[in-house]
A and B are shown apart, each in its own frame.
Chain A
């Protein structure tokens, strides 16, 4: 038996013994996903157990080095773990901007002290992070940000306003872009800093969205003290790290495009709702729309696979994240427009038990943000046109 086969067997056994049954079904897409953090209230004992068991093995961040609490798995093992979790329909034990975004940036650019301080708590789900990038005047044009960090010797004093801070009211720490040199050119003079949300002067305020929920905040910074040892990379040179982090964000958002609905594929769901007659879905126009979407989603999935394989074999162009973000989010929006049509008047029910608290219309409205957050679709197309196609 090869090492990988052995690993698969061990993983399968371990998951069988350690993944609670209630964690072997998809989340509703609502509050039953696990986010962790200092003040987190677990939805169930099982949810807590599942996160803690996975964290103890480092499998909340399976590819991070073990010295920082990660799983230390190589690519092959990582894939096996993913497959074995999918096989029993196991939920992600922890959803985390720490794991998806600031963690990888710290691994690549952070000092040893910053890694030691921040990475292990992220793996254990103890600290929940939020992102302080966008500002009222600098969304898509991120480099135009104005929030200032004034140099006070061993620390900065930060002032300004951030917006679209995901879960800013629930987060423990923020990774934040500040202008630390006002004289320098736009992209120069920006630093990436970390601070505790409980520092005096930090005030997150939820923004209510058309979906009725408030996943985002505006966050006000009034004379916030930021220690200099919490700067990632060099002072005034945070832009490269910020861009690296955005690439991760794009991949994360783009990756949602081919996801399924409550464990069912779009066509399975449509077949259930609309019914089949002689093997064909009962509404020919919707059937065509569903099939056309599934074909595009398949091609998108193959492309993500191909890009990964190209990078592995050293042939990658490495500039495709903009394309995956653009196409993935457009696909996801299309999926929800189709879902609404399939579900007819039921799809509009905003409140009520049968509609799972209006999950469908609320999530549909939420997807409208996919092609705005992390750089709009238009910004992604600009990136492709300029960086890949060389159009000036």
Chain B
């Protein structure tokens, strides 16, 4: 398949660009932050997004979805990187849909995917327990009891963990930390007894949570997929998550580059435009080249997921590793080239670096994915 967007995907990209610029630009993020918003996004925003069908894009048609594919969804998420738009799109319409679709029974899919597609419920994925991403290191337990399970443990850095209706929780039903086998996925109501949620405000002012599970009792039907065999679906969900984080970072890279380029063409020092200095021209040209590589890496990974390519996990790590690298470059260069004004809260360029870093570390940073890439390639 050609590595370019088709007409429908291009249209979706343009409509997302228009919508986000109007209803959820960077100014909206500032507004939510200054108002101390609990969710990090406007009240009506998610409903509007769901109305446009964005919650249903990855949901198969059989469950009430649009089945429009990753190439399409990737364009929306990329645009949301340009506007730094916070919303449940990632945690619900990407992570939730992917996990349920990969692991769920027919009943679970019919119930949960249908509700997500219709914009009725939101989800959050609870994986990590330590400060660094390590999905096999799960030690939270789920013990079979009275025909159901009892969950005990703690999760951290859960995106949308304090607002989601349903938590998709990875817990251990067998084995010990370090084993991929023995991990099971559960769908848990956020309001279930024993679930203690602490919202943690991060640099991007988005909605994350640390969550304690204290003797939380769930029914057998809460098990998503087979007991002890949840790692495969979890891993596939994390791959998708990483590709979309890469897509969002691509938007961040492009936007911070373009804003900086514009600044280089406006700002004068020593009586001339700073963009006339070769020292800055060469750095800008290198930066642009790096972003071009990023565009290809993200497209390739999205396409691999659509095609069910066996190399999709490798390509997900390529995309995430490269985007982590170039997003660090982009946000740092953006501030440096803007000079003093780049350090002010009043100016928007500094907002990009504060969203970029959480996106980089979520589900594994550059070093994590470089290591994973090498392992997947057999060395």
Interface with A: B29-37, B110-118, B366-374, which one? B366-374
Cα A320 to Cα B292 in complex, Å, equals 9
- Is A288 in contact with B370, judged by CB distance below 8 angstroms? yes
The residues of B that contact A388 with a CB separation of less than 8 Å are 285, 288
Determine if A299 and B288 form an interchain contact, defined as CB atoms under 8 angstroms apart.
Answer: no
* Contact residues in A for B294 (Cβ distance below 8 Å): 299
Is A181 in contact with chain B by the CB < 8 A criterion? no
B318 touches A299 (CB 8 A): yes
A291 sits at the interface (CB 8 A): yes
**Nearest CB of chain A from residue B291's CB, rounded to whole Å:** 10
State whether A391 touches B264 (Cβ < 8 A).
yes
A384 contact set on B, CB distance < 8 A: 285, 288-289
Within A274-320, the residues touching B (CB, 8 Å) are: 276, 279-281, 287-288, 290-292, 294-296, 298-300, 302-303, 305-306, 309-310, 312-313, 315, 320
Whether, in the assembled complex, B155 has its beta carbon less than 8 Å from a beta carbon of chain A, the answer is no
CB distance A287 to B379 under 8 Å?
Answer: yes
Tell whether A360 is near chain B: CB-to-CB under 8 Å: no
Interface residues of B in 235-284 (CB under 8 A from A): 261, 264-265, 273, 275-276, 278, 280-282, 284
CB–CB A291/B4 < 8 A: no
- CB 8 Å contact bits of A376-392 with B (1 = contact, 0 = none): 00101110111011111
Q: Establish whether residues B299 and A290, one from each chain, have CB atoms under 8 Å apart when the complex forms.
A: no
- Contact A385-B371, Cβ < 8 Å, known A310-B4, A312-B2: no
Question: B297 and A315: CB pair below 8 A?
Answer: no
Contact among A309, A327, A380, A392 for B293, CB-based, below 8 A: A327
With a cutoff of 8 Å between Cβ atoms, the chain A residues found around residue B288 in the complex are 323, 384, 388-389
Check if A140 is an interface residue, CB within 8 A of chain B: no
- Report the minimal beta-carbon distance from A304 to chain B, rounded to whole angstroms: 8
Q: Is the CB of B3 within 8 A of A302?
A: yes
A315 to B264, CA, bound (A): 27
Q: A306-B299, A378-B282 are in contact. Are A300 and B375 (CB under 8 A)?
A: no
When the two chains form their complex, are residues A390 and B265 in contact, meaning their CB atoms are under 8 A apart?
Answer: yes
Interface size in chain B (residues, C-beta < 8 A): 39
Number of interface residues of A (CB under 8 A): 43
In the complex, are the beta carbons of A296 and B293 less than 8 A apart?
Answer: yes
CA–CA, A382 to B280, complex, Å?
11
What is the CA–CA distance of A292 and B282 in the complex, to the nearest angstrom? 23
Q: In chain A, what residue has the closest Cβ to B276?
A: A392
With A295-B321, A299-B297, A392-B276 already in contact, the answer to whether A281 and B379 are too (CB < 8 A) is yes
Q: Given A279-B375, A310-B4, A313-B2, do A385 and B297 touch, yes or no (CB 8 Å)?
A: no
Contact (Cβ within 8 A) A295 B289? no
CB of B166 within 8 Å of the partner chain = no
Bound form: Cα–Cα A298–B264 in Å: 31
Chain B residues within 8 Å of A359, by CB? none
CB distance from A83 to the nearest CB of B (A): 16
Q: Which of chain A's residues has its CB closest to B300's CB? A: A302
A163 on interface, CB distance cutoff 8 Å = no
Contacts of B261 in A (CB 8 A): 389, 391
Residue in A291, A303, A385 whose CB lies within 8 Å of B285:
A385
Write out the residue numbers on chain A whose beta carbons fall within 8 Å of the beta carbon of B292: 303, 320, 323
- Nearest CB of chain B from residue A74's CB, rounded to whole Å: 16
A63-97 CB contacts (< 8 Å) to partner B: none
> Do A281 and B281 contact each other (CB < 8 Å), given the known contacts A267-B379, A389-B261, A392-B275?
no
A380 to B, closest residue via Cβ: B285
Check A326/B289 contact, CB under 8 A, given A281-B379, A291-B370. Answer: yes
A200 to B104, CA, bound (A): 82
A271 on the B face (CB < 8 A): yes
B295 at the interface (CB under 8 A from A): yes
Among the interface residues B278, B282, B299, B379, which one has the most CB atoms of the partner chain A within 10 A? Answer: B379
Q: Which of A341-392 contact B (CB under 8 A)?
A: 378, 380-382, 384-386, 388-392
Once the chains are docked, how many angstroms separate the CA of A36 from the CA of B3?
A: 37
Question: Is A101 an interface residue, CB under 8 A from the partner?
Answer: no
Q: Counting CB contacts under 8 A, is A171 at the interface?
A: no
B377 beta carbon closer than 8 Å to chain A: yes
User: A385 CA to B273 CA in the complex, in Å?
Assistant: 14
Shortest Cβ distance from A305 into B: residue? B3
Q: How far is the CA of A388 from the CA of B370 in the complex (A)?
A: 31
Contacts of B318 in A (CB 8 A): 295, 298-299
For the complex, what is the distance from the CA of A2 to the CA of B275, rounded to whole Å?
Answer: 54
By a CB distance below 8 angstroms, the chain B residues around A327 are 289, 293
A270 interfacial by beta-carbon distance below 8 Å: yes
Pair B378/A299 contact, Cβ less than 8 Å = no
B296: chain A residues within 8 A (beta carbon): 299, 302-303, 305-306
Inside 8 A of A382's CB, which chain B residues have their CB? Answer: 278, 281-282, 285
Measured between beta carbons, the chain A residues less than 8 angstroms from B281 are 381-382, 385-386, 389, 391
B322 CB within 8 Å of chain A: yes
B259 CB → nearest A CB, Å? 13
Question: B149-168 vs A: 1/0 string, CB under 8 Å?
Answer: 00000000000000000000
Q: How many angstroms from the CA of A300 to the CA of B292 in the assembled complex?
A: 9
Within A156-198, which residues are at the interface with B (CB < 8 Å)? none
Query: Within A260-276, which residues are at the interface with B (CB < 8 Å)?
Result: 267, 270-271, 276
Smallest Cβ distance from A380 to chain B, in angstroms?
Answer: 8
Closest 4 CB pairs of A and B: A302-B296, A385-B281, A384-B285, A291-B374
**12 other A-B residue contacts (CB within 8 Å) besides A384-B288, A391-B284:** A270-B379, A279-B379, A291-B371, A294-B373, A299-B318, A303-B292, A305-B296, A309-B4, A381-B286, A388-B285, A390-B265, A391-B261
> Can you list 28 A-B pairs, Cβ within 8 angstroms, ordered by A?
A270-B379, A279-B379, A280-B375, A280-B379, A295-B318, A295-B322, A295-B370, A296-B293, A296-B322, A299-B296, A299-B297, A305-B300, A306-B296, A306-B299, A313-B4, A323-B288, A327-B289, A327-B293, A378-B282, A381-B285, A381-B286, A382-B278, A384-B285, A385-B281, A385-B284, A388-B285, A390-B265, A391-B264
